[in-house]
Structure 1
Amino acid sequence: MKLILSVEPVRFPLTGIGRYTFELASRLEQSGQISDLRFFAGRRFLPGVPTAASESSPGHGLKRAVQKSALAIEAYRLLMPHLRKHALKGHADFIYHSPNYYLPPFAGRSVATFHDLSPFTWSHCHAPQMARYLQKELRTTLDRADVLITDSQYTRQELAAYFAWPLERIHAVPLASSPEFHPRSPDALRTVLERHGLQAGGYSLFVGTIEPRKNIEVLLDAYSQLPLSLRQRWPLILTGYHGWRSEAIHQRIEQATQQGWARYLGFVASEDLPLLYAGARLFAFPSLYEGFGLPVLEAMSSGVPVVCSNSSSLPEVAGAAALMCDPNDADGLAALLLQGLEDETWRVAAVEQGLRHAAGFSWERCTQDTIDVYRTLQEG
């Protein structure tokens, strides 16, 4: 089996899609089922799996500036497919896999991973020029793809219904948490947590892009209902990349910071993130919409109890191991946060159940299931 894998998402900031791409690429490289594996990014082949930088580069700042220009985005959208088509010429006997929606013109068989449908179903949560770009590109991908992969059964069903795509050509392949997410002793956590001004078991945690879809303002509403002494004992710590329309959210976080019960750490380096998880007393993730919700699984793998919303794919990912409520129910969320922080009987059971549940997901399984999808193309 000959495969070209796009590894473009493995870059700063390393989001969930970047992590998925890196884990998949690393394991495909070790698989004896792939006879010829090539990594592709931009318009060139790479010698190996790239690693994401922990800090932004000057090029990243330029990219962010370009993304704000509708004209620049459209020029990029029209030009890049031609450059990529030229670079991929002569590889029609390969399967091409894009782990991040976009498929360039390609003479061989191709598969794309759709992580969610937010550019269509939650377009108001994207910058307008980016939403238009994504919608055009994703519709083009649907025309080019032979089969599609989703992270969850929820997104598989959503994708089939929204675009009237044949369900049998869409394969749900669950993600997993990486090996570095595991329980750790207070001694193992001390150095990293002290660098961030934290103590093991001394805070609640949210991890995710700071954007409206993550429902952070409702989380702040709910947390503000807890007794002040409890909020100050276990402040809400937030980390994640600045997303679109995040100004109002940051203002709310700053108000809570001044009151002594919340703090935003910015985008934490990937080597610190597993320790930040493992040191939390509680993980809170009331997102409005997720194609998978990897942070929930990462928290469970770290031995941390989870409170999350019951929206979209999250029940599928969290199973029975988390406390869940409607994402718009601030009162209900406050009650669950209180239970998650204070109910020791539930906490002990939730840690054990969460570890057991998360162990049912693995990148090895994700990789093998993905290879099985490639095989359907090879045999088709």
Structure 2
Amino acid sequence: MNDIIIGYDAKRIVRNSTGLGNYSRNLVNALSAIVPAGIQLRLYAPDEGSAELRSQVLSRPNVSFAFPRGIQYPFRGDLWRSRLVVGDLLRDGVQLYHGLSGRLPSGLKRAGISSVVTIHDLIFLRYPEYYHWLDAKIYKHQFYRTLQQADRVIAISECTKRDILHYSDFPASKIDVIYQSASTEFKMRCTPSHIAQVRQRYHLPHNYVLNVGTIEQRKNVLLAVKALKMLPADLHIVIVGKSTPYAAAVRRWAAAHGLDSRVHMLSHVPNSDLLAIYAQARCFVYPSRYEGFGIPIIEAIQSGLPVIGATGSCLEEAGGPSCIYVDPDDVPSMAQAIDSLLTDPDKTALSVAQAQEWVKRFENADVASQVLAVYRKLLH
């Protein structure tokens, strides 16, 4: 009997160092360890991408990469990923194809290849104003085209599932909610000497709240910056993440209101240093208007920090009932929440302990076995 071959959209595996890339690599590595003998995992990438990222896919006999064949020309990789790859899937005898980052190629159904797609979020539909109009239009088109091809959908949160049902007529019975697994890296504790080195290296203040994530409008960190005006003058905010034009807007607001010396933005921080930055913070603020899941909240809880998130998306799913959630437009509520965490250490310690119990469900989640169960529904 021939092997069963499961194909994967591997673009993010070879190109993205975080986010969708981590999700894809972690899932493939976990699956390759548990799939029964006779199942091959083939990773279809539009180009070789980064050798360093490819090396993060564990070398096992049941895993292999596949790239476009023939003459290369501009945009061929995109065309191959969205359409031409189906010919390669047929030639290779692929029975099931998994789109790991919200997309499936056209022609899968016509080719008789079963498919599942992981959908992480629908920000481009919920908040199209955060995108260039053409990008939002393209993502919308790709979303509906993908649902036409999909036999099943994996949503990474109940929030994402609700959005899929709201914006489409895809059957709820064919949507499986499977949370992302969270690394336990942020449970590691730093040595006092490393903490001191990091404080000096980044010129960290002695009393600060922390925010981690791309500094963009959707993440809404300006809410926390505005809250500083209502809090003690020795309290600062440290913001760690990739800078965007929104970061400049935050800096301008802070300068105009006399807060520029209390706002610290850092980028390109390695995880080893980030752990030490978490270790020195008083609390973690994450007032994002919309997330597909909210991994930074889990990492903060693992680091031992109390968390303040925003209502309106999936953050309550990630952080659980012991964290504090505020309206993403309510500055006084954010200030009050921060103050309550800083002034009631006993209550804060209890909140952290309860939250750490909550997030164990993601640390221990056997995502691979849940995904394999979805595959079994489609493989005959």
Please give the alpha-carbon distance, in whole angstroms, between the structure 2 residues aligned to 1:99 and 1:254.
42
* CA displacement at 1:175 relative to structure 2: 1.5
Residue 312 (structure 2) aligns with: 311
Tell me which amino acid in the other structure corresponds to 1:104: P
* CA displacement at 1:332 relative to structure 2: 0.5
Q: 1:364 to 1:316 in 2, by over 3 A?
A: closer
- 1:26-175 maps to which residues of 2 (within 5 A)? 26-33=29-36, 35-42=39-46, 50=54, 80-105=81-106, 106=108, 107=111, 108-175=113-180
Q: Which deviates more from structure 2 when the two are superposed, residues 275-284 or residues 348-357?
A: 275-284
What are the superposed Cα offsets for residues 119-164 of structure 1, whole Å, 9 maximum, x if unpaired? 1111101122221221121121111111111111121122112201
Aligned length in residues: 354
> SS state of the match for residue 94, structure 1?
strand
Judge conservation of contact 1:7–1:41 (CA < 8 Å) in 2: yes
Judge conservation of contact 2:46–2:80 (CA < 8 Å) in 1: no
Residue 195 (structure 1) aligns with: 201
* CA displacement at 1:101 relative to structure 2: 0.7
Q: 1:79 to 1:4 in 2, by over 3 A?
A: closer
- Segments of 5+ residues of structure 1 without an aligned counterpart are 53-71
2:23 is aligned with 1:20: yes
Q: 1:279 to 1:248 in 2, by over 3 A?
A: same
Q: 1:242 to 1:145 in 2, by over 3 A?
A: farther
Q: 1:327 to 1:111 in 2, by over 3 A?
A: same
What are the superposed Cα offsets for residues 269-289 of structure 1, whole Å, 9 maximum, x if unpaired? 344334433442211001111
Residue 361 (structure 2) aligns with: 360
Judge conservation of contact 2:189–2:275 (CA < 8 Å) in 1: no
2:9 to 6, 29, 37: 6
* CA displacement at 1:169 relative to structure 2: 0.6
* CA displacement at 1:237 relative to structure 2: 0.8
Relative to the length of structure 2, the TM-score reads 0.83
Residue 371 (structure 1) aligns with: 372
Name the % identity: 27
Residue 323 (structure 1) aligns with: 324
Judge conservation of contact 1:9–1:18 (CA < 8 Å) in 2: yes
Tell me which amino acid in the other structure corresponds to 1:37: L
* CA displacement at 1:50 relative to structure 2: 2.1
Please give the alpha-carbon distance, in whole angstroms, between the structure 2 residues aligned to 1:190 and 1:6.
43
Please give the alpha-carbon distance, in whole angstroms, between the structure 2 residues aligned to 1:257 and 1:370.
51
Tell me which amino acid in the other structure corresponds to 2:306: P
* CA displacement at 1:92 relative to structure 2: 4.2
> SS state of the match for residue 2, structure 1?
strand
Please give the alpha-carbon distance, in whole angstroms, between the structure 2 residues aligned to 1:295 and 1:185.
18
Tell me which amino acid in the other structure corresponds to 1:155: T
Please give the alpha-carbon distance, in whole angstroms, between the structure 2 residues aligned to 1:175 and 1:334.
31
Residue 182 (structure 2) aligns with: 177
Residue 60 (structure 1) aligns with: none
* CA displacement at 1:90 relative to structure 2: 1.7
Q: Which deviates more from structure 2 when the two are superposed, residues 293-302 or residues 92-101?
A: 92-101
Judge conservation of contact 1:239–1:265 (CA < 8 Å) in 2: yes
Q: 1:333 to 1:213 in 2, by over 3 A?
A: same
> SS state of the match for residue 228, structure 1?
coil
Residue 64 (structure 1) aligns with: none
What are the superposed Cα offsets for residues 266-324 of structure 1, whole Å, 9 maximum, x if unpaired? 24234433443344221100111111111111111111111111221111221112111
Q: 1:241 to 1:33 in 2, by over 3 A?
A: farther
- Segments of 5+ residues of structure 2 without an aligned counterpart are 57-73
Residue 55 (structure 1) aligns with: none
Tell me which amino acid in the other structure corresponds to 2:310: S
What are the superposed Cα offsets for residues 210-249 of structure 1, whole Å, 9 maximum, x if unpaired? 21111122221112321212x2xxx211112234755423
Tell me which amino acid in the other structure corresponds to 2:136: A
* CA displacement at 1:260 relative to structure 2: 1.9
Q: 1:266 to 1:352 in 2, by over 3 A?
A: same
State the structure with more CA Rg.
2
- 1:283-322 maps to which residues of 2 (within 5 A)? 283-322=284-323
Q: Which deviates more from structure 2 when the two are superposed, residues 235-244 or residues 95-104?
A: 235-244
Q: Which deviates more from structure 2 when the two are superposed, residues 276-285 or residues 241-250?
A: 241-250
Q: 1:91 to 1:146 in 2, by over 3 A?
A: farther
Tell me which amino acid in the other structure corresponds to 1:18: G
> SS state of the match for residue 362, structure 2?
coil
Q: Which deviates more from structure 2 when the two are superposed, residues 259-268 or residues 246-255?
A: 246-255
Please give the alpha-carbon distance, in whole angstroms, between the structure 2 residues aligned to 1:271 and 1:96.
36
* CA displacement at 1:25 relative to structure 2: 2.0
RMSD value, Cα: 2.9
Q: 1:129 to 1:78 in 2, by over 3 A?
A: farther
Please give the alpha-carbon distance, in whole angstroms, between the structure 2 residues aligned to 1:13 and 1:181.
20
Q: Which deviates more from structure 2 when the two are superposed, residues 100-109 or residues 290-299?
A: 100-109
Tell me which amino acid in the other structure corresponds to 1:36: Q
Relative to the length of structure 1, the TM-score reads 0.83
Please give the alpha-carbon distance, in whole angstroms, between the structure 2 residues aligned to 1:190 and 1:374.
49
Q: 1:104 to 1:139 in 2, by over 3 A?
A: same
